[in-house]
Structures are given as structure tokens and as C-alpha cells.
Structure 1
Amino acid sequence: MHDIEPHFQWRDNYRAEDDAASPFYGRRYSEFSYSNRVYNYLLHPQWDEFGSETLYLKILFVDYDERYAILELIGEWNDALHNDIMFLKREVIDYLMAEGINQYILIMEGVLNFHSDTDDYYEEWYQEVVDGGGWIAMLNVHDHVADEMNGSGLDRFLRYGEYLNHLTWRPQKPRRVHEAIEGLLQTEVRRVF
């Protein structure tokens, strides 16, 4: 895992460490000092820690005018032992929400396991973004992770599923990714109703 870097092709357009509204503003990174880990596996130093012991992320892009953020995650999402959703909500999402962000794209292909607990923080986050016309979408969720999320009823708050999986997002510009997700979400809503 130590050689898996967060997506870096958008760094000319956005860097969380240079964004005064980001929770990671001012953070400095080493290319040589590996200190973060998921269990016994070291992580590339470009991943950001936010309080979780097993889940890390990178804010890849934020558009304050269009009110969306794209975050990439890696590790194990463990609400049962570590309450990862609380850390994510309080240490990252609340900062972005304070700046008006209400549309969240979470890239989940690096999340290898998910363990649920209560849905309080998910419901809180959902209510806050939906009241502002927003949404929370997860891309490329592994089947076993989606199964665990479904079993916990998180599909009431988060948008994920086959229609958001297997998307080739890396070669695209952030705006195109956002437009594509927004279109897919609207199409899925029409299909359901």
C-alpha cells in the first residue's frame, strides 16, 4: 500500500494544503517519511490523516462556486471500532460544509472493508446536504463494502450502486466528473420514480 498515491493529476488545479478553507491547510508532506499505516501496511505520505486509525483520505478537488468536493479514500472504514464516520464528519466534512459545499463525491475504490455501527452521523450529514439541495455519492464501491452498507441501511443516506461503479474518472477533469455524477444521480432518481 505504500506505493499507492492519491490521484495527483488535478494538483495543478487544487491543493488542499494551499486552500485556506481546507482542514488540511498548511500541511506539509514528505515523499520519503512513511508514518501513516493501516494495520501493518504503511501508506504513501501524501494521504491525509483525520483522526481515524484505519481510514485516510485526500481532498482531490473543491469548487466553492459549484459547491462540490471530490475526496479519495483508502483503508478500512470502521465505524464499529473507530467511529470513522464521526471523524470524517467532524474533522473534514464540517469544514467543507461551513464553506457552502453540499455535493460530495467519495471515491471508494481504495476502501477495502467497511464495518458499520449506528447511522447517526450519516443521517446528520444527509439532512444537512439535502436541505441545501445537495447529495453524497460514492464511486466504485467494492461489492462486499456495498453489501455491508446496505445491511446497515446506509443506502437511505448515501448514493452508491452499480450505476456509480466502474466509472473511469481519472483521465477526466474534475468538472466533467461532477457533471457525470450529477447526471447519473438525476437519471437514477427518474428511473426509481
Structure 2
Amino acid sequence: MKLLSAIPSPYGRKVKVLLHEIGETDKIEVVLVSTTPVTTDPSVAAANPLGKIPALIRDDGPALYDSRVICRYLDAQAGAGMYPEARLWDVLTLEATADGIVDAAISMVYELRIRPEEKQFDGWLDSQWAKASRALDALEARWMSHLSGPVDMGQISTACALGYLDFRHGTRDWRNSRPQLAAWYAEFSERESMKATAPE
């Protein structure tokens, strides 16, 4: 199988971290692509009509896309238990929260990098950061016991989201007033799976 991704992509990183955690990196060939919302790589468009990465090209069926779908598929194929039935709804909600942080953070990047400067809207940037900030507050207030438990996709997604904030929005200091989350992330970042997939 082939995974279409890009080194900076936090969604692609989720998949790669999962592969490291479940010992399946040798089963997938990672193909690096360069694609944007306005200039879609043809190989990405062929795999995912939405033109988004990551996309997983399978040998025995149509390509899968959306990182949540890919991660569920790979976890099921390996029987790895990263979506444990006993905590499934918590895991899925935590994964959705982390992906929402990434959605907002990427939207901010697009506003600054793709939209012409005269059309950029500070109000949009502020509103997107407010979404991310509320989600970070929720992680600090409600999810620390789960984050401190056995590793699952909720934790992987959260770590990749926080890593992306450091990578693209480091000056905003998400750690301020969130000491528990900051401490958890510092420890989780030491995992080999995180080190091996860190964006350049």
C-alpha cells in the first residue's frame, strides 16, 4: 500500500505515528507529495476527489481518505486496539477535538499563505484561533485522565495537533494556562513514533 502525504501534514503525521506505534511501518510506502487547495497534485486528485492528503492507496480496493478513516482501517487490519471498544466514544471524541484544532490551525495558515495580502481578514484568524483555544482549554479541563491512560488514537491525534501548533503557530504559546497539557505533551513527544515523524 502507498500513503500519499507531506512532511508538514499533521493528518499525515497521525497515520505515520500510528504505523510506528503498531509496528507496521514496513507495510506502507510513504509517497511525499506537494499539494495545496489551489494547486492539487494529480496523484492526490486521482486518489481523493477532494484533493486532500493523506490518502491510502490499497492493492485490493479503492483508495481511502480522511485520516480518521485511514487510521481506523489500519488499526482494524493490524488488530492493534487503538480504538478500544470500552473507551470508543471517548477516543473518537478526543480524536475529533484534536482534528478540529488542526482544522482551525490549517485554516489560519491558508489565510496567510494562499489568500492575497489585501484580502486577508484578521477577524477570521482570530475566530479560528478562538476555536483552537477553546478546544485546548477543554483538553486541559476534561481530558487529562484519558490522555494519561493507555495509548490510543485520541492521544496520538492530540499529540499531532499540539505538534502542529508548535510548528506553525509557535508564537501563540498554547501552553500558557495549560500546564497539565503541556507536561503531558512534553512526555508524549519523547516517544520514538513522535521523534521519527516530527516535521522539519
TM-score (norm 1): 0.33
Larger gyration radius, structure 1 or structure 2: 2
**Higher RCO, Cα 8 Å, sep 6+:** 2
Structure (1/2) with the larger strand percentage: 1
TM-score (norm 2): 0.33
Structure (1/2) with the larger helix percentage: 2
